[in-house]
Amino acid sequence: MNERELIQRIDAMAGLNIDPALLCGIGDDCAVVRKTDELVLLYTMDTLIESVHFDLRWHPPELLGKKAVSVNVSDIAAMGGNPCYLLFSLGLPPDFDDQWALSLSKGVGRACEQYGCLLIGGDTVSSPAGITLTLTVIGEARAEQVLYRNGAQPGDSIYVSGPLGLAAAGLALCKGKMGREEEFKQLYEAHLDPHARVELGKCLARSGLVNSMMDLSDGLATDLAHICERSGLGARIRCEQLPCDPVLEKAAALLGQDSIDWMIGGGEDYELLFTASTSATERLQEVVANAGHVLYPVGRMVREQGIFLLAEDAGKRTATAIDYRGFDHFS
């Protein structure tokens, strides 16, 4: 059984949604629950496990604390919401280092300030086998503006809000113990200290131009597969449109890796992935630019199932299936 199968089984057990206030349960970036006629509450929960999601050899505790908040807040951003409150559960070995734990907590606190949300509760437990962090972030949004994964339309352009693969390259550099820190600073930062696109998410939600949205946590291929599945559509990605930062190519050359693999399979970029009518491109460009970002079109939603990467190689066109090429948490 892999992660998807287990989630499907758990989802099935969650039973029918008999609660009219529950607008969206399992299956999107957040659960969505009606708060008032106009507002909804957004709920998300993510766990980070030592040696799976972070490595203490290169992750400074303060940045780890910030990252734990950012990856959760990113789910709120992915629905177009505003993060309000945070619950934080910390599992520490009995012999934990005081200074380390305080730096981690400081990072959590700084990220809360940065995103304007308040730490309101949680738990501390002994975790002899390694550090665990679980966070729940509670957000809010206007009911009619929430962006779901299931709204993509055939013909929609597919967009991302920034260059791809940077976090995957940063992780590879950390693992490879590469030097030349300054040159690859952007890549290290993408892995160690990602930022949730809260303001951009809110601008996109307000614009009314976007049909579907999520955040890029598991890599373009895997995440786009969620939008396709929930919207009952397929997608075609154009290889030459993938936003590749020059520094990514440099790191790929240094490590003997393929930058395209990083861009479609690498997780943790925490950029926004969204679809909108092609006719809205110009207005969308303006919205994204006003929020301080660049709009990168990377492909098109289609009626035909499957996600294919379209490329031209020496005048020859190729189409490679890339569904779920990303991260299965149990594999």
CB of 59 to a second copy, least distance (A): 17
* CA 135/CA 30 separation, integer angstroms: 13
Among 40, 46, 243, 259, binds a second copy (CB under 8 A): 46
Binding characters for a second copy, 77-116, by CB under 8 A (x = yes): -------xx-xxxxxx-x-x-x--xx--xx-xx--xx---
C-alpha distances out from residue 164 to 131, 242, 248, Å: 29, 7, 9
The total of other beta-carbon atoms located within 10 Å of residue 108's CB is 24
Question: Whose CA is closest to 6, among 24, 23, 22, 26?
Answer: 26
Binding characters for a second copy, 114-143, by CB under 8 A (x = yes): ----xxxxxxxxxxxxx-x-x-x-x-----
**43 near a second copy, rule: CB under 8 A:** yes
Question: Whose CA is closest to 188, among 326, 63, 324?
Answer: 63
Q: What is the DSSP letter of 94?
A: T
15 three-state secondary structure: coil
Residue 15 vs 179, nearer CB to a second copy: 15
| Type of residue found at 141 | A
- Count CA within 13 A, CB hemisphere, residue 224: 33
Interface region with a second copy, contact rule CB under 8 A, candidates 23-31, 145-153, 220-228, 316-324: 23-31
Residue 101 vs 178, nearer CB to a second copy: 101
Interface region with a second copy, contact rule CB under 8 A, candidates 13-21, 175-183, 208-216, 316-324: 13-21
* CA 270/CA 215 separation, integer angstroms: 6
Q: What is the DSSP letter of 138?
A: E
Contact footprint for a second copy (CB under 8 A): 1, 3, 6-7, 9-10, 13-15, 17, 19, 22, 25-26, 30-31, 33, 35-36, 41, 43-53, 84-85, 87-92, 94, 96, 98, 101-102, 105-106, 108-109, 112-113, 118-130, 132, 134, 136, 138, 329-331
